[in-house]
Structure 1
């Protein structure tokens, strides 16, 4: 039997409603040399029966039963049993477009310096509720993050990758460790950890995944995916990044934004022993005051780029782009002199 070119690792827990169409999308892949490792994570619906019937007609798949509990242990189990040097993530409620595996595997084969490749995703079904419309905004943002430079600069804003859209080299697991369990989003932590080691990630400008949104999805029901958990893990890796960037040793840290969201994030930065020298804000009512005893300055008081590094804590729609433009006009360079955190 030939070694598969790519191993699809797919945890499954009570996905009877969406599992058949997901499996069908995998079978429709134009790249045929794959294996599918499904980890049944204690399903108590008809998922096991659906998988049993699937394996009767599909010899490239196999089912493992998670001896642990939860997504992280299921993922690590599936990866440990994989035969390929490339790992494709998939969720049992999502849908692959037919060329997804072919295009992503080919990209990794042709670009050996890229260690992880993703693709653009389609958020579906069409959002109606306000909460789901907010998720559409997030998906639109991830679809704009394409190059390795884009991912590097925007890594602390939010998770820049749809988890079920990635294919990565298994050697990354061996070098830098796999998924970790804790009170944080496991995928965001993994991407930040790998990028802290200089790993290059890229996203193809093609929509190859339908990313299903529904009330029962884990990211909506598990406390590990609450905004505060994302901010806690990003603050940890911001601290690590600062320690590795020697050019920041003699520059003051300035945070742009003194609003409610910015204050919450800045408290986490301070908790991680990041020394903030000043805040920048446009609101004249805030200028001249202090935030946790740190002065709030106007944009006219912003030091030059050789004297400070700016973290952008403003994430409202359109504001981040305006701040990027302003700082660039003042001679600041993204990634070198400023980075967005929100």
Structure 2
């Protein structure tokens, strides 16, 4: 018997893209799914779009809430799911018709913890999102290597407490995947199914990229939260490498001073 997959679609003022997203869900070759759409306090015509899809197919369900961010929306959506597996999908993205079927096949046969498809940017950028084929927690220390639309067990989601709702300035997927893998397991990229990841001129992700202060704050939060998951040397070297790459350390003496301070902090 096919296992139910719960697709979770948080939506905040993305009505103009929501049809394309939900159309990709209803076209899935894997039919045993439900789709929970979370209206995160939208002020556009999101509710109208959602109601249209609910009337079209009873597998679509929705919940509305005051705006609280993507982590809160995904957590609320997950709380009312009935599936064995969960699949987050952003309202402005869409997936290939075989996306769920290929992920299900691979996670069931190989007992991976997370499976995800290849991803392609479209909109303001048009290129493939370069992702790793095999990911363990140690591979996630420097930066995120998995997009948001990975498939995983519902039980694993609640075991780690879902998404960290303190992650309000981006990087929530990075922190979530670290949390999911820190006690073991692998995340595997499946080559023959695809996520299409929309890049907009004024999207949340592009705004985050421009704000180095918030970027640094979120990276430091992730590092401190998960410090015990890594060996000391790996944490120190990766952290300093990130700092140099982001131009926070402009002179050699600043680099070595920072290294000394962090050494004292971790010791």
TM-score bracket for this pair, using the shorter chain length = 0.7 to 0.9
In 2, distance between residues paired with 1:24 and 1:76?
23
Q: Give the match for residue 117 of structure 2.
A: 119
Taking structure 1 as reference, are residues 258 and 171 closer, same or farther at Cα in structure 2, changes over 3 Å only?
closer
Q: 2:204 is matched with which residue?
A: 218
- Relative distance call for 1:159 and 1:226 in structure 2 (3 A) is farther
Say which one has the larger Rg: 1
Structure 1 residue 78 displacement after superposition: 0.7
When the two structures are aligned, how many residues end up with a matched partner? 255
Question: For residues 207 and 254 of structure 1, do their structure 2 counterparts lie closer, same or farther at Cα, with a shift above 3 Å needed?
Answer: same
Return structure 1 stretches of 4+ with deviation > 3 angstroms: 221-226, 253-265
Q: 1:40 touches 1:65 (CA, 8 Å); kept in 2?
A: yes
Please provide the CA RMSD for this pair. 3.4
* Residue 161 (str. 1) matches residue 146 (str. 2): yes
- Give distance in 1, aligned partners of 2:22 and 2:258: 56
Q: CA deviation at 1:18?
A: 0.7
Unaligned residue ranges in structure 1 (runs of 5+): 128-132, 266-284, 296-342
- Alpha-carbon deviations, 1:281-312, whole Å to 9, x = none? xxxx95x99721869xxxxxxxxxxxxxxxxx
2:137 aligns to what? 152
Cα deviation, residue 38, structure 1? 0.4
**Cα 1:102–1:206 shift into 2, 3 Å:** same
TM-score normalised by length of structure 1: 0.65
CA–CA separation in structure 1 for the residues paired with 2:35 and 2:48: 17
Partner deviation per Cα, 1:1-34 (whole Å, 9 max, x = no partner): x996200011111112111111111111111111
- Secondary structure at the residue paired with 1:44? coil
Name the structure 1 match of 2:227: 239
Q: Distance in 2 between matches of 1:90 and 1:254?
A: 33
* Counterpart Cα distance in 1 of 2:259 and 2:185: 35
**Quick check: 2:119–2:194 contact (8 Å CA) kept in 1?**
yes
**Is the Cα contact below 8 Å between 1:192 and 1:237 reproduced in 2?**
no
Q: Aligned pair in 2 of structure 1 residues 209, 4: CA closer, same or farther (>3 Å)?
A: same
- What residue ranges of structure 2 are gaps of 5+ in the alignment? 261-267
Distance change (3 Å), C-alpha of 1:105 and 1:120: same
Higher helix share: 2
Alignment partners' CA distance in 2, 1:73 and 1:259: 29
Structure 2 CA distance for aligned equivalents of residues 293 and 73 of structure 1 = 35
The verdict on how the C-alpha distance between 1:67 and 1:46 changes in structure 2, with shifts beyond 3 A counting, is: closer
Partner SS state of residue 118, structure 1: strand
Which residue is equivalent to 2:82? 83
Per-residue deviation, 1:186: 1.9
Between the aligned partners of 1:65 and 1:186, the Cα distance in structure 2 is: 21
Structure with more contact order per residue of length (Cα contacts < 8 Å, sep ≥ 6) = 2
Q: Is the 8 A contact 2:42 2:67 kept in 1?
A: no
TM-score, normalised with respect to structure 2:
0.81
Question: Which SS does the other structure have where 1:65 is aligned?
Answer: strand
Cα 1:50–1:263 change in 2 (3 A) is: closer
Do the aligned residues in 1 keep the contact of 2:17 with 2:92 (CA within 8 Å)? Answer: yes
> What is the rounded CA distance, in whole Å, between the counterparts of 1:64 and 1:147 in structure 2?
35
Match of 1:174 among 148, 158, 168: 158
For residues 246 and 69 of structure 2, the distance between their equivalents in structure 1, rounded to whole angstroms, comes to 32
**In structure 1, how many angstroms separate the alpha carbons of the residues matched to 2:117 and 2:258?**
44
**2:41 alignment counterpart:** 42
Superposed CA offset, 1:55-74 (max 9, x none): 11111101111256221221
Aligned to 1:29: 28
